Chain A
Amino acid sequence: MVLVEQSLNGLQFGLLLFLLAAGLTLVFGIMDFVNLAHGSLYMMGAYFAATFTAWTGSFILGVLLALGATLLLGIALEFVALRHLYGRDHLDQVLATFGLILFFNDAVRLIWGPAGLALPLPAWLTVPVQIIPGVYYPAYRLSIIIVALAVAALLYVVVMRTRIGMLIRAGASNREMIGALGINIKLLFTLVFGLGAALAGLAGLMQAPILTVQIGMGENILILAFVIIVIGGIGSIRGAFLAAIFVGMIDTLGRAFLPDLLRMVLSSAAASTAAPALSSMLIYLLMAIVLVVRPEGLFPAAKR
């Protein structure tokens, strides 16, 4: 029973990670741009949702407004600062977006204060749902799984089956060429960046009711998203999906079951400190193994 519940938790966390990693890998694959500030967009999504929900009094309305706001913020960010960094050295991009993280963290502290916010759930999302006889699972976590899967499917359809998706894929394989064919590449980049921002915001605001909304919430998870796109292969959405589920499972199951396993060999207190560290390490260990075996990641995007 616990195993079923924890596996679902792992799936849910993995899907959230996928939403974050998908934006990161899209932006990287198409614009060759490393965006550390992606985690800040995740944080902003959560803060927007908490604020708009408190204003409107409606969770759904708050979430929709927050999504729109993150999308706009992403587009504004791209327009003002980031588009000047395309084609620059990766180091420049890392440093500039590192500066943006500093900026966003302090801006949030200035606007919302240093204490975290809570995003309360409406009553209809807090009830446990019976998924198989005898096993109950929180409706909210279940809805995260459903929404994230739907978004993943939508993303697949958009990228693989629509004209805009075709342009995105074409842009990923040869930027200059589709520019020469008369496509407004700048607009396309802005759109893709906005899409990535909205995905990050969605991940942030969905995670918000489970954890508190706080400064720096996007940083740890950003590193995980990086690990995921390295494991999956940079630029590959399919790779990001599989790696995200995998990492989410390892993290969650490790946290759930490692303490009990460790208690067999360690004292109880030592085990409860060592277990989360060990399960976090497992992920990096996995990444190291993948890198040794396949330095390009498991599912490298097509060569440029």
Chain B
Amino acid sequence: MKLQINTSNVVVALVAAGLVVLPLYSQLTGNIFILTLFTRIIIFALAAASLNLIMGYGGMMSFGHAAYLGIGGYAVGILAHEGIGSGFIQWPVALAVSALYALVIGALSLRTRGVYFIMITLAFAQMAYYIASGMSRYGGDDGLTIYKRSSFGGLIDLSNRVQFYYLCLGCLFGGIYLIWRIINSRFGLVVQGIRSNEQRMQAIGYHANRYRLVCFVISGTICGLAGALLANNTDFISPAGMYWTRSGELMVMVVFGGMGSLFGPVIGTIFFLLLEELLSQFTEYWALIMGPLLLLIVLFARGGIMGLLGRFNRG
């Protein structure tokens, strides 16, 4: 893939560079708030990027992605609660449990198509939500406070804001690089082929659902990593974090940015969370504006921000 100089690539490069130098700005101005805000944004961007892998490239509209955020988070929280503070144990467990959940849910959900798939993934995520609410040992509905962030020996200190920020940013760039490698690999091309014409791919001899399932599991695992990061960021995990509106927000972030574009979810997440932050400074009733805006974007701006940038480029 040759890199071209066009509007969307320039914007992406600027955003990426901005994210890299942000801690510097925060240090110079003493604005700590912007660092914590963007740590959150980066974590959600990773989750949105993982969702984009199956939505944008795989054609699987999962409405239950918040479940992985919760599962990854609970893996960290529960292990910390039981006295296992090492990130070398917590994080692999978070990834493994997310992958396992994705495998089971995916195997069941992928029997269905279209709107059934949307509802099934939604319903399973709600099930995960109820399981979390039922775990009285780990706080039930009230959630679980994580008193100590994951420790990685002397390697990195997660309680240090800047180090944690760069860890999250590293995970985001790593995740996007992985997704880029996947979509340009033979496997990724098959998955995209199945999205455009399943029957034809079946006829060529590809087992469509197996490819879909593997893609679904990869996406869930990446999102589980975002969950582990998020739990460390908030020092708290509760069922509310995996409520279905959270899944909806992740979908919105993907669509705002532009589905099926590599960096779209990052741009979309920045846009969505910054807008939310801005609006909530003006008014307590920010959703009163966000809701109709979402409706308008769906009606008039298909392809999201990256789509608009692309159009700007051509016109």
Residues of A within 8 A of B (CB): 28, 34, 36, 81, 84-85, 88, 90-92, 94-96, 98-107, 109-110, 219, 223, 226-227, 229-230, 234, 269-270, 273-274, 276-278, 280-281, 284-285, 287-288, 291-292, 295
Contact = CB atoms under 8 A, between A and B. Distances in A.
Contacts of B118: 34, 90-91, 94
Nearest to A285: B127
B159 interface: no
Contacts, number: 137
B131 A277 contact: yes
B291 interface: yes
SS class, residues of chain B in contact with chain A: helix
Most chain-B Cβ atoms within 10 A of its Cβ — which of A101, A109, A226?
A: A226
B244 interface: yes
A94 B61 contact: yes
B92 interface: no
Contacts of A105: 287
Interface of B: 55, 61, 63, 108-109, 111-112, 114-116, 118-120, 122-124, 126-127, 130-131, 133-137, 140, 244-245, 248, 251-252, 255, 285-288, 290-295, 298-299, 302
Contacts of A276: 130, 133-134
Given A223-B126, A280-B130, 4 more contacts: A81-B295, A99-B290, A110-B288, A234-B116
B120 A291 contact: yes
Contact of A270 (B133, B136, B252): B136
A234 B117 CA distance: 12
Contacts of A90: 61, 114-115, 118
Contacts of B287: 102-103, 105-106
Contacts of B114: 90
Nearest to A109: B285
B294 A95 contact: yes
A91 B288 contact: no
Residue in A92, A98, A100, A292 whose Cβ sees the most chain B Cβ within 10 Å:
A98
Contacts of B126: 223, 280, 284
A31 to B, nearest CB: 12
A234 B123 contact: no
Contacts of A223: 122-123, 126, 244
Contacts of A273: 133-136, 140
A227 B123 contact: yes
Nearest to A220: B126
Nearest to A95: B298
